[in-house]
Amino acid sequence: MPIIDKFLKEVVMRKGSDLHFVSGSTPMIRLNGRLLALNDKVIAPEEGRTILNEILTKNNREYFEENLDIDLAYHLHNVSRFRVTMFNQSNGVGAVFRVIPDHPSTLEELGLPDSINRFAHLDRGLVLVTGATGSGKSTSLASIIDIINRKGKKHIITIEDPIEFVHHNKGCLITQREVGMHTETFHNALRAALREDPDIIMVGEMRDLPTTHLTLSAAETGILVFATVHTNSAVKTIDRVVDVFPVEEQEHVRVMLSVSLRGVISQQLLPNEQNTGRVPAVEIMFCNSAISNVIREGKTHQLTSLIQGARKYGMQTMDQSLIELYQNNLISYDTALSRISDRGSFLRSVGKKT
């Protein structure tokens, strides 16, 4: 049994989200958003390399030696799957293991708003799920894909780096491809996917111009496309997608987005009121004619007010989500205040003096 397995078992047993196994430091677990030492033994450089090499295939080792970092999936039988990022650093090698549950959770179990369910019933267009690393994007996407899988009769293609949640065919046929194992790049897999009779494509990350361009093009053809972006609001998401392209193409990209974009989910995970777990704060934008016009005209600064005024249609800004979480005693006052954008509005909403 690889030595790392005993650390991973403890992380799962303690309901942690990540194991940090880094040479020059003690092994650490992320528990409820905080890093805690698993023991007081510092990992020596050679020891760290030996332990981590145990879980690498020959091809993985060659790739790691050449590129100095690698993403992969690791399955510990009867325990869990893990998304692994291995890297070199000043004290030797290190790795972060993210726990991936065996089965996708429901939206209700994740504490996500019911309106997100609407994205699982779309026929075409682009849906962007955004947030920082560790904000739960992949988990939310897996939940949406699982809804479609249970209720639909479609062909779903996922392109991931690495494959995180393993989806088994229920009502749908699901094809999962891993970059580096089943395809060389995201955009190569996307180009091939368009010839594989898909109804739905899930793109693990729009990380470069070719992938972004093909993602938008796929959504234009009548396919439902889900993709992730590392941004924290609908406004920044639209701006980020447009800014990936050369200046002379940006007006055309805004037009493409105004036609094909169906919505944006932006989320972050926050410690709960008791500091015993985490809860999601979520911004939700559904594209309507007003929002499409604003995107087409490049006036993204107006999006926040449009989302704010469409609460009855299932939309909400991040600030509205934070206020609701605080008023429902799900997060603390200090946590809400530290993440709020409009401090004055928050203080007025909760009856505090500025």
Q: How far is residue 161's CA from residue 149's CA, in Å, rounded to a whole number?
A: 21
Q: Which domain holds residue 17?
A: 4-100
210 in the same domain as 111: yes
264 in the same domain as 147: yes
Of 70, 100, 130, which one is at a domain's C-terminal end? 100
Mean pLDDT, the chain, whole residue set: 94
- For residue 72, the one-letter residue type is L
- CATH code of the domain covering residue 59: 3.30.450.90
Label residues 251-261 b or e (16+ Cβ within 10 Å = b).
eebbebbbbbb
94 in the same domain as 238: no
The string of pLDDT tens digits covering residues 76-129 is: 988 999 999 999 999 999 999 999 988 899 999 999 999 999 999 999 999 999
Q: How far is residue 96's CA from residue 99's CA, in Å, rounded to a whole number?
A: 10
Q: Which residue pairs, CB below 8 angstroms and at least 24 apart, start in 131-135? A: 131/230, 131/231, 131/232, 131/266, 131/267, 131/268, 132/230, 132/232, 132/268, 133/230, 134/17, 134/18, 134/98, 134/269, 135/267, 135/268, 135/269
Structure-token pair, residue 316 = 């909400």
Q: How far is residue 29's CA from residue 33's CA, in Å, rounded to a whole number?
A: 9
206 in the same domain as 62: no
Structure-token pair, residue 108 = 């209700």
What is the number of structural domains in the chain? 2
112 in the same domain as 96: no
Please state, for a pLDDT cut of 90, what percent of the chain lies above it. 90
216 in the same domain as 247: yes
The string of pLDDT tens digits covering residues 311-339 is: 999 999 999 999 999 999 999 999 999 99
Residue 1 pLDDT: 86
Please indicate, yes or no, if residue 299 is contained in any of the structural domains.
yes
Residue 115 pLDDT: 97
More confident residue, 277 or 238: 238
Residue 62: pLDDT band (50, 70, 90) is: very high
- CATH code of the domain covering residue 247: 3.40.50.300
Please indicate, yes or no, if residue 337 is contained in any of the structural domains.
no
Residue 352 pLDDT: 67
Q: How far is residue 192's CA from residue 153's CA, in Å, rounded to a whole number?
A: 21
127 in the same domain as 20: no
155 in the same domain as 47: no
Q: How far is residue 230's CA from residue 257's CA, in Å, rounded to a whole number?
A: 18
Of 78, 100, 122, which one is at a domain's C-terminal end? 100
Angle between helices 186-193 and 209-220 in degrees, nearest 10: 20
236 in the same domain as 147: yes
The average pLDDT across 9-13 equals: 95
SS3 261: strand
Please indicate, yes or no, if residue 345 is contained in any of the structural domains.
no
The string of pLDDT tens digits covering residues 264-313 is: 999 999 999 988 889 999 999 999 999 999 999 999 999 999 999 999 99
220 in the same domain as 288: yes
The string of pLDDT tens digits covering residues 170-186 is: 999 999 999 988 999 99
276 in the same domain as 187: yes
111 in the same domain as 75: no
Residue 92 pLDDT: 95
Query: Which range among 30-34, 183-187, 218-222, 289-293 has the greatest average pLDDT?
Result: 289-293
Q: Please, are residues 270 and 279 in contact by the beta-carbon 8 Å criterion? A: yes
Please indicate, yes or no, if residue 351 is contained in any of the structural domains.
no
Residue 276 pLDDT: 86
